[in-house]
Amino acid sequence: MMRIKIKALLENPQIGSEVLIKGWVRTFRSNRFIAINDGSTINSVQAVIDFEKEDENELKRIATGASIEVVGNVVESQGSGQSIEIVVKSFNILGDANPEEYPLQPKKHSLEYLREIAHLRPRTNTFAAILRVRHAMTFAIHEFFNNRGFYNIHTPLITATDAEGAGEAFQVTTMDLKNVPLNDDKEVDYKQDFFGKETSLAVTGQLEAELAALGLSEVYTFGPTFRAENSNTTRHLAEFWMIEPEVAFADNNDNMDLAEAMLKYCVQYALDNCKEDLEFLNKRLQDEDKSKPQIERAGDLFEKLEFVANNDFERITYTEAVQILRNSKPNKKKKFQFLVDEWGIDLQSEHERFLVEKHFKKPVIISDYPANIKAFYMKLNDDGKTVKAMDILFPGIGEIVGGSEREERHDVLTQKIKDQNIPMESVWWYLDTRKFGTVPHSGFGLGFERLMLFVTGMGNIRDVIPFPRTPKNAEF
Ligand code: ATP
Ligand code: MN
């Protein structure tokens, strides 16, 4: 007999038919009711056994976490909470789970505890829901770009350029760390290393995406990104996934339109396709809210998602943002940790949160930042002091997207590279695109896990990626 997945069974139950299901035991009540889940849906199916007919030793093996296959008849359910159940004809335990040792019990575990047993998290309702939403968001992103004629580009994960110049990259080497070869100047001799030069894991795929866009017009990357930033926040991972579109013949306004459309598309996709999982996650949030003071409450997840899907984002310039912040209550009352007075400061997350959560109460796109707080490749405005950058800030998240129009003028870009002491020999190929057939172009980076935080309502980025990589943590 062919196995039927629980999702398919519940969506189209054939009352009276015989089915084979396989999954993991969630609960076993009254020696009679087995809740079985196979991960295809948040819902478990109830299998009912006649314990008087079964072997006692076999019955004992039906425990939370055990894997099981069941053959039985589909009937309308007697109990409330489910429409159908399965009357068991025969069952077979595929793998035992000793209740004395199995770390997951049929009760609510803390997210902190679950992080310590991340190898078993996919067996929980919460993480299975998050992983299904993660899949849906991945699919939505590819669909969004495919519908618009973008090509997906695979950019290298090992790179010899440090584009952001931030010095937060992981080194890649095959050298023997106990016996590192030195040159005559007593510096590390990377010529003897695997690639013959210093290499690291990519902090972005942007530069290579630009090369592809300047031939294919519209491309995007969707891959892992690595940053050795030792900031233990709820918004940063050492390994995260980033979506980076790059569009030829597009200016920074087109760039904002694209990013806003993409975010709305993803949120709407989740509303349309992940209803049951989001309902489950929302219920979790509402339960948690009950024990929280008013200002810390997450609020209703669906209201938040629908608001973003259906309302235009606020668009302001950096200069306008500084003006608002300077005159704001928390600034005047010295409530900000970093007070805002002079034009040119980098906005801190407390400032971003004020603008999004208190002032505008909606997503905000800030554009035209001071040149000296942004990367070298961003296009200089005619004022000579700001660049065509744009960051998108989301409620509860902060920065979700960072992007810009790229500097396409060969002479201006060369000067900026010199000013920032970026070694010319590591970016000669990037400059070549400005030398030959250059065009205006723009792009941005969306942090996939930040989008996941927003869509699921989860509070910690470690809980929206299957196996998080953070400082001092690379288990599993
Ligand atoms: P932040 O100020 O939040 O550290 P950033 O300015 O370093 O962000 P970018 O370099 O512009 O971010 O990267 C593009 C996007 O990638 C960000 O908008 C964010 O969504 C995401 N991102 C950046 N760093 C991380 C990280 N360590 N973990 C997860 N996502 C990240
Ligand atoms: Mn950062």
Atom of ligand 1 nearest to the CA of 445: 14
Taking the CA of residue 122 as centre, how many other CA atoms within 13 Å lie in the half-sphere pointing to its CB?
14
Using the mean position of ligand 1's atoms as its centre, give its distance from the Cα of residue 349 in Å.
Answer: 12
* Nearest protein CA to atom 11 of ligand 1, as residue: 402
Q: Which ligand is the nearest neighbour of the Cα of 462?
A: 1
72 pairs with which residues across the strands?
Answer: 19, 88
* Cα 140-355-351 angle, rounded to 5 deg: 105
Given a contact cutoff of 8 angstroms between Cβ atoms, the answer to whether 449 and 464 are in contact is: yes
Determine which helix (DSSP H) or strand (DSSP E) holds 305, and give its type and residue range.
helix 301-310
Using the mean position of ligand 1's atoms as its centre, give its distance from the Cα of residue 447 in Å.
Answer: 6
Average pLDDT over residues 185-203: 95
**CA–CA distance, 79 with 46 (Å, rounded to integer):** 10
Whether residue 128 has pLDDT greater than 80:
yes
The best mutation among 242, 348, 461, 470 to test binding of ligand 1, ranked by most ligand atoms within 8 Å of the C-beta, falls on: 242
Pocket of ligand 1 (CB under 6 A): 227, 229, 235-237, 240, 242, 399-402, 445, 447, 449-450
**CA–CA distance, 111 with 129 (Å, rounded to integer):** 14
Whether residue 165 has pLDDT greater than 60:
no
What tens digit of pLDDT does each residue of 331-359 get? 999 999 999 999 999 999 999 999 999 99
Compute CA 433 distance to the chain's CA centroid, rounded to the nearest angstrom. 31
* Nearest protein CA to atom 5 of ligand 1, as residue: 402
In this prediction, residue 264 carries a pLDDT of: 98
Given a contact cutoff of 8 angstroms between Cβ atoms, the answer to whether 20 and 88 are in contact is: no
What tens digit of pLDDT does each residue of 390-449 get? 999 999 999 999 999 999 999 999 999 999 888 888 899 999 999 999 999 999 999 999
The best mutation among 399, 400, 401, 470 to test binding of ligand 1, ranked by most ligand atoms within 8 Å of the C-beta, falls on: 399
| 172-186, 192-206, 415-429: segment of lowest average pLDDT | 415-429
Whether residue 211 has pLDDT greater than 70:
yes
Nearest alpha carbon to residue 247 among 409, 443, 444, 446: 443
What tens digit of pLDDT does each residue of 378-387 get? 999 999 999 9
**CA–CA distance, 363 with 395 (Å, rounded to integer):** 6
DSSP one-letter string for 130-188: HHHHHHHHHHHHHHHHHHTT-EE----SEES--TT--S-PPEE--S-TTS--B-TTSSB
Structure tokens at 254: 């087109």
Structure tokens at 374: 């942004």
Whether residue 131 has pLDDT greater than 90:
yes
In this prediction, residue 107 carries a pLDDT of: 87
Q: Which ligand is the nearest neighbour of the Cα of 204?
A: 1
Taking the CA of residue 170 as centre, how many other CA atoms within 13 Å lie in the half-sphere pointing to its CB?
16
Atom of ligand 1 nearest to the CA of 227: 27
Given a contact cutoff of 8 angstroms between Cβ atoms, the answer to whether 463 and 407 are in contact is: no
**CA–CA distance, 406 with 380 (Å, rounded to integer):** 9
* Cα 289-290-296 angle, rounded to 5 deg: 40
What does the mean pLDDT of the chain come to?
95
The best mutation among 236, 346, 373 to test binding of ligand 1, ranked by most ligand atoms within 8 Å of the C-beta, falls on: 236
Q: Which ligand is the nearest neighbour of the Cα of 391?
A: 1
Largest Cα separation within the chain, whole Å, is 86
pTM above 0.85, yes or no: yes
Residue whose entry in the numeric block shows the structure tokens 């040119």: 344
